[in-house]
């Protein structure tokens, strides 16, 4: 695949960084909303918090996560980093894919359940199913923020070595030895030629 031009890479960088930061910011918003729904004594505010969380998860956060995944994959394919060439890139790709699949299914389902149980009705706090959904939403928000923060650290620090680093180094070393041999000639043939030239010259 052809490498990206400078303009294309800049555009992908802007979209990827923007969507990733937006996704992380949305995660903090979800956490704030879930905490508000957990702590408030106002039934209407509690129900509104779950409705807002459901809308955020269904539309904005899904769009941001898809954009982050697509632009990240394109940056990997069209730059030196690749998709499975460096550990930090591969781990980010796997975690992003996992979040993209599980968040709408699990978190979206829990938020929908919380809304459908009419969380604003009196006596809902005695409903064990609602209490479980609310606890799962809070735990999911903390987990998502933790993973997104971890991926942010990976993007900045770029830790660990290249995947199959030893194999790669061996290939580079072998290639360097071949190039060196071509440039200077093999040791034995050049010695024989040198000896023949010496004998003839005398």
pLDDT digits (tens, 9 = 90+) for 184-202: 555 444 444 444 444 444 4
The beta strand positions in the chain, using DSSP E, are none
pLDDT digits (tens, 9 = 90+) for 143-163: 999 999 999 999 999 998 888
Q: Show the low-confidence residues of the chain (pLDDT under 50).
A: 187-202
Q: Which residues, 6+ apart, have CB-to-CB distance to 113 below 8 Å?
A: 129, 130, 133
Number of Cβ within 10 Å of residue 146's Cβ equals: 11
Q: Which residues, 6+ apart, have CB-to-CB distance to 124 below 8 Å?
A: 43, 46, 117, 118, 130
3-state percent breakdown (helix, strand, coil) of the chain, nearest 5: 80, 0, 15
pLDDT given at position 92:
96
What is d(CA 176, CA 34) in angstroms, rounded to the nearest whole number?
58
The pTM for the full model equals 0.77
């Amino acid at each position: 695949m052809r490498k990206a031009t400078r303009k294309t890479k800049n555009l992908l960088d802007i979209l990827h960084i923007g969507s990733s930061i937006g996704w992380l910011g949305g995660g903090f918003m979800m956490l704030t909303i879930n905490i508000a729904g957990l702590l408030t004594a106002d039934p209407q505010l509690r129900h509104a918090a779950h409705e807002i969380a459901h809308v955020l998860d269904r539309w904005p956060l899904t769009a941001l996560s898809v954009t982050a995944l697509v632009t990240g994959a394109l940056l990997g394919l069209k730059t030196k980093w690749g998709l499975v060439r460096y550990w930090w890139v591969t781990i980010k790709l796997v975690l992003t894919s996992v979040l993209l699949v599980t968040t709408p299914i699990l978190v979206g389902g829990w938020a929908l359940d919380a809304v459908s149980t009419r969380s604003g009705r009196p006596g809902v706090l005695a409903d064990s199913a609602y209490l479980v959904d609310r606890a799962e939403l809070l735990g999911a928000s903390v987990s998502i923020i933790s993973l997104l923060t971890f991926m942010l650290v990976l993007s900045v620090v770029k830790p660990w070595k290249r995947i199959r680093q030893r194999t790669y180094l061996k290939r580079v070393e072998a290639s360097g030895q071949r190039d060196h041999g071509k440039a200077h000639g093999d040791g034995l043939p050049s010695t024989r030629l040198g000896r023949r030239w010496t004998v003839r010259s005398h």
